[in-house]
Structure 1
Amino acid sequence: MNFPIISPESNVVSVNVGGRIFQTTKQTLTLAGTDSLFSRLVTESSTRFVDRDPDLFSVLLYILRTGNLPARSRAFDVRDLIEESRYYGIESFLIDSLSNSSQFEAFDLRKSRILPLNGRDSPSTIAPTANGGGLHVAHGSKITSFDWSLRRKSTVVAAGATDFPGLQIIDLDNGGFVRTTLNWENVTSSTVQAIGSSSEFLFTSFESSRRNSNSIMVYDLSTLLPVSEIDHCEIYGADIDSAIPSTKLRWIQSCNLLMVSGSHSSPSGVSGHVRFWDVRSKNMVWEIKETQDCFSDVTVSDNLSTVFKVGVTSGEVFYTDLRSLGSKDPWICLGEEKKRSLNERRGVGCKIESYGNHVFCSKGSGIELWSEVITGLVGNASRDVLEERVFRKNSFAKLADSGENKITGLAFGGNRMFVIRKDQQCIEVWQSPSRGVSI
């Protein structure tokens, strides 16, 4: 490996890559960080030659200068760019440039690939990585992780499930060993029903093995030490409401509240709760008790300041504005709300998730896409009070019910939507076309 001569009198650095001379500045090279090959070019004092592809080098140098992908990047295979960025130690810059060039366009999602999984188990949970590019998939007793390019994957065996005591924290970056196991204090054999997180806290819903008590523990995300306990319920007699553990936890960043929800099925129908907790004061701010057309699934959109549910009886999508919580009947139906028998349960198994300014609801093997239409303001415009909120169901022909297996999970990250289906040992990747190189 060879490096350029750097004149002490000049800020310009010249480097010969594969026989082609490139010139840049010391400041540009040092942007790559001290661990990058680029930064080491600044300190070399003898004539060197870098025996690499000059065309790929020019793309990476452009990314370093501007933070964006050049138009000519379309001519390259993404695998070559990935390997070259790893060689120079600037893979993170390539990831960021792809994010800049790839927007999530809900109306123009296309199936881009299928990610196969090892083994016979179908995926139960999918979670995009923090940068939105990679993906973690739980299937059976295994966890498979895909990198941001979705071309490299690794699988670890992880003991544990919803009926396994405690919450295992697994270090996927270092061989998949169990870092620690979190348990509900003073309760033996407590099982985990749901997890969630904010930038500061980890939230875990526990239920005792005898199913006579449940609670939500709050942990410091950096130390994993317990901070507080909320929503503790001890079950006495036939108190059905207290017997329902929370099976979904979502942090609402805009109002610093934790939304928790759980439901229970009985011969008389499905009942449940949606609660909003101030974690710091340990006070429940609001509660919605679900009796009529209880939710099959519920989610919250920070962008829209709205909670959405899909009714287990009707299968329709409902919403409630976070600013109007506390009203007796907060839910507003987005579809055609019809009187249905409690035994119909058209929404059983439907999933609902929000991403950006859109809401996605799975119906069988297809997906409905809902978006808000702003109709105007009333009163003092500075108060930003909406006259009415109108959500429109958009045509999503590519994901209409096509006779494929039923959708059992949705997740979003970057410009991608991930879909899992019943009895399928793979993940569908849907994404918006990129203005740069296609991943």
Structure 2
Amino acid sequence: MSKRERESAIKMSLDDIISLDVGGTRFDTTRQTLVKDPNSMLARMFDPASKMKPGLLRNGAYFLDRDPEWFRTILNYLRNGVLLAETQKELLALLTESRYFGLTDLEQEVTARLEEESSPQTSSPPAGSSDIIKLNVGGKIFQTTKSTICKYPSSRIAQLVQGIFKQTLDSEGNIFIDEDPRDFEYILRALRNANGYPTTVPKETIDNVINLRDNLEIREIKFGYREKSDSYVSEYFLSVCR
């Protein structure tokens, strides 16, 4: 089979209709929808080019041992890119499900919603009292809030922002941190996450991220990675506590 023929076969197979049995509820969708997030477990299960097996086929549907109530929301998100969830209960459940399925875009959106929910609603702040700050980490500018960075007041990064430690400023007056910005992205994501939830980090990066966490003395935050396997039922989230 030529390269063009293989590409055509893959394209055609992406239009296949896939039936799923999620916790006893049947869902019909297309393969294209299931592989929307290429790094997710669903993509690895149903991508025609993937070596991972989809799992148990029961009565013409692939069985997933998850709650169908939350999977319906996940499937709609993959279909149209819109997160249809409002309550904290829904968001917390979807945070768990998005981490299980490795849907990083959904996880980030849910985390942002939860952060908005937990932030105190106040009237417009007086001039000059904005909580928004910019950090220059290894040449990349990150914009966040002081309350996020100072979530753990005893951490080194919180004391740096508060001026307890000597600050180094760039030419724009932003606090400069001489670290790898790719690793800092995960530190900031963990600070934004709800307490008690490990933040997903690629396995090949996790040692660097944990070293940076320790350098910044934010040992309260936890990281984990997804252990890949040939069967979706044995893929799981590992909490890293060091």
| TM-score using structure 1 length | 0.25
Question: What TM-score does the superposition give when structure 2 sets the normalisation length?
Answer: 0.43
Q: Specify the structure having the higher radius of gyration (Cα).
A: 1
Q: Which is richer in helix?
A: 2
